[in-house]
Chain A
Amino acid sequence: MNLHILVLIPVLTALTTLFFKELKQVRMIAFLGSALQLLLSFALLAVFYAERAAGNVAPMLFYSSIPWFPSLGIAYTTGIDGIAMAMILLSAFVVLAGVLVSWKMEKLSREFFFLLMLLSAGAYGFFISLDLFVMFFFLEIAVIPKFLLIGVWGSGRKEYSAMKLALMLMGGSALVFLGLMGIYFNSADIHGLHTFNIIELSVRHIPYSAQMLFFPFAFIGFGIFGALFPFHTWVPDGHSSAPTAASMFLAGISMKLGGYGCLRVATYLMPEAAHTYSPIIILLAAIAIIYGAFATMMQTDLKYINAYSSVSHCGFVLLGIGMMNETAITGAVMQMISHGLMTALFFAAIGMIYERTHTRMLSQLGGLLKVMPFISSIFVIAGLCSLGLPGFSGFVAEMTVFMGSWQHVETGFRIATILSCASIVVTAVYILRAAGKSIMGPIVNEHHLHLNDATWNEKLAAIVLLFGIVTIGIAPFWLSNLIGPGVHGLMANIGRTILS
């Protein structure tokens, strides 16, 4: 199967929206495009399984490489393993749900859906590319549309948040770029020709000293995207000011670009340095988890609650990567998928509540379960998933991360693991508090009595995401079987220690 179609469809969808003016036409095009994309992702999954079942053990399936700038060693190289496959599925779910919750985007609807589709093209391209330059290209494509999405369609301090997000993410990409330059020029060259190809680079030797210098650039650069403490400050502002679909996209996919990059680029290509730096990564990740959880306790705005809890949850991704063993990394990838779906559902529910009540403040909400049972239910489900209730994806993912982390016997790592584990209690506190205050209890505002429940499109969006969450929750083996071989492939490099 040809992977280029995964980028082509969002781009074509985006371009098609430009030819129409009416909201009805535009949203239908975006819906069809993203639904087609979801179907294609499933088809791709089927073909992927079929290839694997047929005994194809190549690390990257559907590999293709088209020369682009040969003199610089840049080629449009694509291919996927289980990890990328899982991320593509995640993106397809979130984008479709994002389109569905934006069904009534009256303001500049054409531009809105155009940018949303462009963003998703960036995400898909990022996950399928195996060339560092192309990857970087797609990473940056996924930055600037966010600026416009937040600044034009957002709420609250939208201009400030948009600018902050754009500049911090640009800062992240500047660091990533330096990291890439380090990898590119310090890897062994063949006849004076360097390469950006990840597969090639993974077998070319990068000197330890160069790794030590450039690993922080690449890791922190991607880490900024993935809410690495202390560079997470764009997350709360950006998420809370963004329109619902953009929040879903930001938390559901964008932050995963960071985690994926940390794993695939920084850790995979510079494993020796990663081993040396891993205590620092663990420390920062543990701080993010605990600090994020406690910061969430103090929030009174629903979107801020979810944004800070995203910082905390994405900490698990970095914790898993920092532990550098197979179980923990598998858990990290599962956490990316799980958190992506869960947080998208959460933001969707918050968006639906906000659209009806025009407030996100906990103090002004109450008893919503009586008036909008469907929305309230998905809100609770997302919350329960977030606090790691068995039966939902969150439990499976976090459990795997903890199991992997526990394999490290050093005291410091153990302490970090225990503390991170303990944060689940804090998560339970803020989730139950938020749900209890807004969903249960007496109705605070009389006007809320006349509000409608979810419309069909909102229900469909929620069901799409719920489907993913529950499938992972009750049958996690299909996801771990998908990711497992991919992680195992990465471990060949990551398992390498210093002085080999």
Chain B
Amino acid sequence: MLNEFVILMKQELLLCIILFITLILKISENENNPKNWIGIINGLLLINFLAGFFLSTTGELFNGMFKVSELIIFEKNILNLGLLIVSLMAQPYLKNHKHLPEFYMLLLSTLIGMFFMISSGNLLMFYVGLELSTIPMAALANFNLNKANSSEAGMKMILSSAFSSALLLMGVSFIYGTTGTFNFTQITASLDNNALQVFAFVLLFTGFAFKLSVVPFHFWTADVYEGAPVPVAAYLSVVSKAAVAFVFVTVLYKVFGTMANLWYVLLFLTSVLTIGIGNIFAVRQENIKRFLAFSSIAQVGFILVGISSGTKAGEASMIYFLLIYLFSNLGAFAVVNVVSTMSGKENISDYKGFYKTNPALSWFLTIALFSLAGVPPTAGFFGKLFLLTSGASTGNYLLVGFAAINMIISMYYYLRIVKAIFMDENAMPIASIKTEILPRIAIIICIVGILATGFMGSVYNYIYLLSSGI
């Protein structure tokens, strides 16, 4: 029993161990300067990521409260990779921060929360995991201790997530009230789609929509991204979103598969809104972090289009897209982070003439943006098109057509930045930046991921084999 427990929960336990190491580091702060430990922590995170590929056993614990399947392990590996990249890219920001160990403690606890959330086979476990993943997030958003808008970001984050959790919890309790169970499989068996259950589902959906920043529940996103430190914004936009999306699709397909007609309509409406509003606002942004916030909202809209099909391909294309999105968005954020920590500049207009002074960083940012826009040969092209292909399999060409047209709008705003970088003249461009080794590794991992993932059909096929439809 203990053996099984250790092996099934190995990814969570490993994270806990690293968490304790950072805690010890904090306690012994007077003897050891935490700055010297950045490399070691990153090494541990690398080991943690690699360990995810070994000893993969599947099974359940605690009467089905905690489940591990190959797909779940794969999803956790994706999140581990995201954490590693965020941690690498955060180095220039963290090295002068007096609360370095806390940063890692908070970050790791959110990831542990996400892991429990992904593995959950029970609404309560899911809820606990979700809370564990969001509350430390608010502290992280507030990590720029001397900036007012960082506090604002933390406040907004905690209020909106508390609100959405309340909605979610209300949905959970209605479900419990009508079915008498928290267990996913038992819920599915006893759903009869009565009005209260539909209402409960809508509440749950709203809760998810908040976390995924689906329009009209997106208002917190841009402010939080703008105020939060760049690595935290990156983590929020990719890792935490991916984790919620993984659970979201499980809940939709496995638990509420019988309500497919209902959630199809919800997904249809919200995806149109999300893509449309995200794009319209992204066009108008001047701050690059706000810009990335709105562009990531629009990306979520595409994910909704993909999963609306309810097929195996829908789930597979979503996971594949999120893997690619992780590389693309973290790549963009990594460059933005380097620029913002070194020069303090965060506006799109500051990037004018960037190519003259920083050709390498310019190309990296451009490739990441092209991948977000879905331009081949970057992986974003494959990710986005597979989502749309999956969306089209329902025969709803109106939705897919809308999404395809919005790809043109999104092309415009991504190209706007590329234009600023390559074409616009600027008397005072950002000075030449020397990227330190760790963020450089982060950027290179992202770029390699962007360029390689699309061509590796085997990755998609692997995900496809593991995933299942309704």
Contact = CB atoms under 8 A, between A and B. Distances in A.
Nearest to A73: B389
B377 interface: yes
B395 interface: yes
A174 B408 contact: yes
B260 interface: no
Contacts of B388: 177, 181
5 contacts: A69-B457, A72-B313, A137-B376, A140-B381, A167-B411
A105 interface: no
A20 interface: no
Nearest to A154: B423
B284 interface: no
B461 interface: yes
Contact of A181 (B376, B389, B419, B423): B389
B67 to A, nearest CB: 24
A148 B401 CA distance: 27
Interface string B435-470: 000000000000000000000010011001000000
Given A136-B385, A148-B422, 14 more contacts: A69-B461, A70-B457, A133-B385, A137-B376, A137-B377, A140-B381, A141-B377, A151-B419, A158-B423, A166-B411, A167-B412, A171-B405, A181-B389, A181-B400
A320 B423 CA distance: 40
B392 A185 contact: yes
B415 interface: yes
A184 B389 contact: yes
A162 B415 CA distance: 10
A41 to B, nearest CB: 23
A144 interface: yes
A170 interface: yes
Contacts of B407: 170, 174
Contacts of B404: 174-175, 177-178
- Which residue, of B395, B401, B404, B412, has the highest number of chain A Cβ atoms within 10 A? B404
Contact of B419 (A159, A170, A182): A159
B449 to A, nearest CB: 18
Contacts of A69: 386, 457, 460-461
* 5 tightest Cβ-Cβ pairs between the two chains A and B: A174-B404, A181-B392, A68-B457, A151-B423, A71-B464
Contacts of B385: 133, 136, 177
B457 A166 contact: no
Nearest to A214: B397
Interface string B411-426: 1100100110011100
Nearest to A177: B404
Contacts of A136: 385
B375 interface: yes
Interface residues of A, number: 35
Q: Is the interface of A mostly helix, strand, loop or mixed?
A: helix
Interface in A53-85: 67-72, 74
Nearest to B403: A174
Contacts of B377: 137, 141
Interface residues of B, number: 33
B370 interface: yes
Contacts of B415: 147, 163, 166-167
- Which residue, of A67, A136, A177, has the highest number of chain B Cβ atoms within 10 A? A177
Contact of B400 (A72, A138, A158, A178): A178
Contacts of B370: 144
Given A72-B313, A148-B422, A152-B423, A178 B457 contact: no
Contacts of B411: 166-167, 170
Given A151-B419, A166-B415, A178 B386 contact: no
B375 A140 contact: yes
B458 to A, nearest CB: 9
Contacts of B313: 71-72
Interface of B: 313, 316, 370, 375-377, 381, 385-386, 388-389, 392-393, 395, 397, 400-401, 404-405, 407-408, 411-412, 415, 418-419, 422-424, 457, 460-461, 464
- Which residue, of A144, A147, A158, A182, has the highest number of chain B Cβ atoms within 10 A? A144
A72 B386 contact: yes
Nearest to B392: A181
Contacts of B418: 147-148
Interface in A81-106: none
Contacts of A138: 376
B460 A144 contact: no
B397 A182 contact: yes
Nearest to B374: A140
A167 B423 contact: no
A144 B371 CA distance: 12
B408 A185 contact: no
Given A71-B460, A137-B381, A170-B407, A152 B422 contact: yes
A324 to B, nearest CB: 26
Contact of A171 (B381, B386, B408, B457): B408
Nearest to B424: A159
Given A152-B422, A178-B400, A167 B408 contact: yes
A348 B392 CA distance: 44
B98 to A, nearest CB: 42
A175 B401 CA distance: 8
B418 to A, nearest CB: 7
Contact of A178 (B397, B412, B423, B424): B397
B400 A185 contact: no
Contact of B457 (A67, A144, A151): A67
Nearest to B423: A151
A182 B381 CA distance: 19
A70 B461 contact: yes
A92 B415 CA distance: 29
Contacts of B460: 69, 71-72
A238 B405 CA distance: 21
Interface in A135-169: 136-138, 140-141, 143-144, 147-148, 151-152, 158-159, 162-163, 166-167
